[in-house]
Amino acid sequence: KENDKQGALENFRHAAALDEELLASDSANALTRKDLAYTHKRIADFLVEMSDYTGALAHFNDALKSYEKVTAAAPADLISQYLVVTCRAGVARTQARLGQISSALEECRRARADLDGITAGARAHLGRGQAYEYLGYAYLALAQSTRATEGNTHEWLASAREMFQQTAQILEADR
């Protein structure tokens, strides 16, 4: 199973190198930028599964920057808006795992603000559900931090529960 993850990770790293090469030759290509962002997010997801939080943080940041450029150029791209929030929550989760509590809390705050800013008509979008799920894992990582006080732990667990409940409601509405 671990070899499958390593093989997939190498394939995604190869894809990222190709996308970066393509983007270098045509920086205005929105599709390549989205592909690169997706690839960085997938690499980050794999690295989180492998407990490589430093590597995951770098790739979540790269994905976030790319998705922010996509949404700046195409503000109506709802999926990319949600992926900005998802990657920001991924940054928060990895920061929490690395003990960077203040930074993680700031990223959670920004992710929630971004999520609240996405149009009300998109409340049941599956991308929104994914964003809530990633935020839930960020708050869970904060609560599990050795730097969390008992009061913080309860607060962050309540926030995680709220985020996971939002995810469940969106998934249920999609049935």
Listed in sequence order, the DSSP H helices in the chain are: 2-25, 30-49, 53-73, 78-97, 101-117, 126-144, 150-174
Mean per-residue pLDDT, 92-114: 97
- pLDDT at residue number 129: 93
Query: 41 vs 9, 117, 144, CA distance in Å?
Result: 11, 22, 23
The residue-averaged pLDDT of 31-53 equals 94
**What is the pLDDT at residue 125?**
86
Q: Is the pLDDT of residue 123 over 70?
A: no
- The better pLDDT of the pair 61, 151 is held by 61
**Token pair of 102 as six digits:** 């203040």
Are 95 and 62 in contact, with CB atoms under 8 Å apart?
no
Burial (CB count <10 Å: 0-12, 13-18, 19+), residue 175: exposed
Tell me: the pLDDT tens digits for 156-171? 999 999 999 999 999 9
pLDDT at residue 5, as a whole number: 80
Between CA 114 and CA 69 the distance in angstroms is 15
Position 27 confidence tier, pLDDT thresholds 50, 70, 90: confident
Does residue 75 sit in helix, strand or coil? coil
